[in-house]
Amino acid sequence: MQTIIHKKTIKVSIVTLPILIVIYLGISMYFSNHFYYGFVINGIDASCKTVEEVDAEMLTKSKTYTLDLKERNGVKEQIKANEIGLKYNVKDKIQALKESQNSFTWIFSFFSPKTSEMNGIVTYDNKLLKERFDKLAVSDSKKIIEPKNVSFKFSDKGYVIVKEVKGNKVDSKQFYANLVSAIVKGETTIDLEARNYYINPKYTSTSQKVKNTKILLNKYITSKITYTFSGDEEGLDGSIIHNFLGVDENLEITFDKDKMDDYVKKVDDNYNTYGKQRNFATSLGKTVKVSGGDYGWLVSRSGEVNDLIVAIKAGQTIAKEPHYIQTAASHDINDIGSTYVEINLTKQHLWFYKNGSLVVQGDVVTGGVSNHHQTPTGVYKLKYKEKNATLKGEGYSTPVDVFMPFNGGIGIHDLAARSSFGGSVYLTNGSHGCINCPPILAKTIYNNIDANTPVICY
């Protein structure tokens, strides 16, 4: 039985094979003047078509071609063949392409359809295309809406997120290049959104980094910083702090140091006494106004701005004094305190008080009037004290036992060479600006004074 079936199969195969060969050769003959199945030339379907049919279709398409543009917000536009001088330069190129196909390998086209892009077949007028492109909505500056990143707005309840603006601005250079490519390939539709031609905001309201930045902003405005001065106080909280804060394009929080400096300037007016005019109660019972000098409280604005940034970032609630470059003895109206040197330039007399008690006083000789070296008025701080110094200047070199400078090279020192002090000596035989003292007066001051002690000249 099996032998009979086997013989029948062989007979069928012998009969069928020639038929299949004839069919294959017949189809091959068909594809000798028709393009392969699934073959596309520059966007035109050439599948199973003759060269003449493809030529005709290309000629028709050169007149009817339309490229549809799908834009954002439902905007639709078209670029038509006649608007850009579109032509299909066929000549013998299609015939040459057909001849390059082996008609006997047609069967493979059913498994792997091919697309051919031939250079020079599709031509257009560059100038006309550029003019048409410039007339598109995406090229009209009046219709372009710039994309905007998400932003943040301060409110009574803290910061809220202001949603981004997607806009409709495209990357013109990229879009134009791809537009040309689409025309050459015979594409009929471009969806700008799908192809990512739009310039979008970097961050949206749903970005995690946006949420993190909002959390930080709200932390910063919870800070409360209180300055106390002269029985009053200045409070810094979110209602002011938000004016200092900004967010850059990378969603990093920034601090406006100029605005912070302006704020610190207002605050330090309540603290700074450096160089300011003071009412000074003299040893003679009279109150005088003294201005100038380098003594007093002096706020470091840059230092205070940096201190504030640290406190704000930490969300601190603190009471603080400003960041000082220089301090004084007291925050009272009289910041001089109870330890100071008082020099009456008119009376040519000096008093030295320590902790409110008079340590020593005596007549002195100050800067000469006749030689224009008058001692400047003002409130100064003692810079340091030194033993066995030699004072040098133009035309003189004077050794002294003790020297206590308070204004540049001007200081308090002994001068044993002088036989008289006080009175009107300074009018005709004054110093070069220093305070000349009898040796015992100078040494007593030296033994009891420290650097930074106020020296008042009036």
Q: Is 159 helix (H, G, I), strand (E, B) or coil?
A: strand
Given a contact cutoff of 8 angstroms between Cβ atoms, the answer to whether 51 and 95 are in contact is yes
Which residues participate in catalysis according to the annotation? 413, 434
Q: What are the φ/ψ torsions at residue 85 (nearest 5 degrees)? A: 65, 40
3-state DSSP assignment of residue 91? coil
Q: What tokens were used for 65? A: 């071609």
- Judged on CB neighbours under 10 Å (0-12, 13-18, 19+), 54 is buried
Residue 247 to residue 121: CA distance in whole angstroms: 53
Please report where in the chains the tokens 């195969």 appear, as a residue. 13
For the chain, the residue count is 458
Closest CA to 255 of 268, 265, 242: 242
Amino acid identity, residue 196? N
Q: H or E segment at 324? A: strand 324-326
Shortest CA distance to 163 belongs to which of 153, 176, 177? 153
Q: Which of 141, 142, 159, 158 is nearest to 150 (CA)?
A: 159
| Buried b / exposed e along 439-457 (16+ C-beta atoms within 10 A) | eebbbbbbeebeebbbbbb
Identify which of 202, 213, 269 has the alpha carbon closest to the alpha carbon of residue 245: 213
